[in-house]
Structure 1
Amino acid sequence: MHQIDYFFSVLSPYTYLAGTRLEEIAAKHDATINYKPTDITALFGRTGGTPPKDRHPSRQEYRAQELVRQAKKLGMPFNLQPAHWPTNGAPASYAIIAAIHAGGGDVGKLVHAFLRSVWADEKDIADDAVVRACLEEAGFSPSLADSGLLQGAETYATNLEEAANRGVFGAPFYIAQGDNRFWGQDRLDDLDLHLAGKL
């Protein structure tokens, strides 16, 4: 069975634009997804990246154009300047980690609920009520927002170390068997082909 290690940030617009395509690809190939929420700002610092606000204006302008284009191409609602970004992504990431350990719901749906909350619904995913609503939407107990905080913090830190050690430098980032790495939602088709043995 295929394994996909999925490094992502709940604050990344490109992770939002991936939608649920990874889950569809995994189902097609009977693959297991290992969800690994990661602190993208810290990862940038570890791997030579630059946060969007610190990039040259030319890069910021291109990013703005490209995000809007990609959202239109994918038919996804998208707010280039959401009301609650940046915000603290840790509470949502901890909730995802707690949900993974608890089971019983749809982790992919949970991840997308948080991302949609930021980039389409104008919600603050650092807000406890938003975290609880996303958990419930994905079939998990809202009480997971209160549990596993220590484990969540430890796993979140471990995910960062693993990401930096395995060559991850952005989000979304997918690693398939044989250390085959795919960066960005626009490489999901390549991941699909790889899992099919065609690439």
Structure 2
Amino acid sequence: MAAAIDYYFTAQSPWTYLGHDRFVRMAREAGAQVRVRPADYGKVFPVSGGLPLPKRAPQRQAYRLVELRRFSQFLDIPLNVQPKHFPVAADDANRLIAAVEGADGADAAFKLCGAVFGAVWRQERDIASAQVLGELLAECGLPAARLEQSRDASVQQTYEANTQAAIDAGVFGAPSYVVHGEIFWGQDRLDFLERKLRSIN
């Protein structure tokens, strides 16, 4: 039986960026069905005890930068720990990913995710900009119409449903991978996720 994975994240998360390619490879190798579920963590945090980055204690903010550098070096993934466009409003990018997932499928959404994450953490691009999002669609070979479609009420409903599903599942951070009700939080838990997928297959 193939595993089903709910992939919860928000587009500006550096940890999601660091784990994305590994997660995609892992899911494909396992033949897993992935539901790509960008969520509004501005609504997840208040019900899960989390705080947005600017409201966290200075010690936590400083240590976050240390850990980002460590993982970037360890994984050999380029990452600017203090990019020009961060913090950044991620709702438009999240809705665009949701629109692509709905119209073009998970593989197309994976590709766009990688482009969006890299835009923030490697390329110093503003993912709150409609122009940048349009450029990323083109770079991924995806229809330009998806940008306008991402503003449809139906996509907003999907985004809200993803957010509520994350809350209902007990998700509190990004990325979170949920397999048959079991949460694996963070790119540093991908080894545990891989063991879970092997046990299912």
| Fold conserved between structures, TM > 0.5 | yes
CA distance in structure 2 between the aligned counterparts of 1:127 and 1:51, rounded to whole angstroms = 21
Q: Structure 1 residue 85: deviation in Å?
A: 1.1
What is the deviation of 1:169? 0.2
Kindly report which structure 2 residues correspond to 1:1-199, keeping only aligned pairs within 5 A, or say none.
1-103=2-104, 106-149=108-151, 150-177=153-180, 179-197=181-199
Shift of 1:133: 1.8
- Using structure 2 for the length normalisation, give the TM-score: 0.93
Q: Secondary structure at the match of 1:19?
A: helix
* TM-score normalised according to structure 1 size: 0.94
Residues 126-185 of structure 1, C-alpha deviation per residue, up to 9 Å, x if partnerless?
1112111222222310221011422221111111111111100000000012x1110000
State whether residues 14 and 121 of structure 2, in contact with CA within 8 Å, keep that contact through their aligned partners in structure 1.
yes
Q: Secondary structure at the match of 1:5?
A: strand
**Contact 1:18-1:185 within 8 A present in 2 as well:** yes
What is the distance in 2 between the residues matched to 1:85 and 1:59? 17
Equivalent position SS for 2:37: strand
Quote the Cα distance in structure 2 between the aligned partners of 1:16 and 1:41: 19
SS at match of 1:135: helix
Counterpart-to-counterpart distance in 1, 2:150 and 2:42: 23
Asked if 1 retains the 8 angstrom alpha-carbon contact of 2:10 and 2:39, the reply is: yes
| CA distance in structure 1 between the aligned counterparts of 2:190 and 2:182, rounded to whole angstroms | 13
CA RMSD of aligned residues (A): 1.4
Q: CA deviation at 1:19?
A: 3.0
1:86-144 CA-to-partner distances (Å, cap 9, x unmatched) read 12211111111111121176211111111110111000011112111222222310221
Report the identity percentage.
Answer: 37
CA contact (8 A) 2:112 2:137 kept: yes
Which amino acid in the other structure matches residue 169 of structure 2? Answer: R
Instruction: Please list every run of 5 or more consecutive structure 1 residues that lacks an aligned counterpart in the other structure.
Output: none
Return the letter of the residue paired with 1:103: D
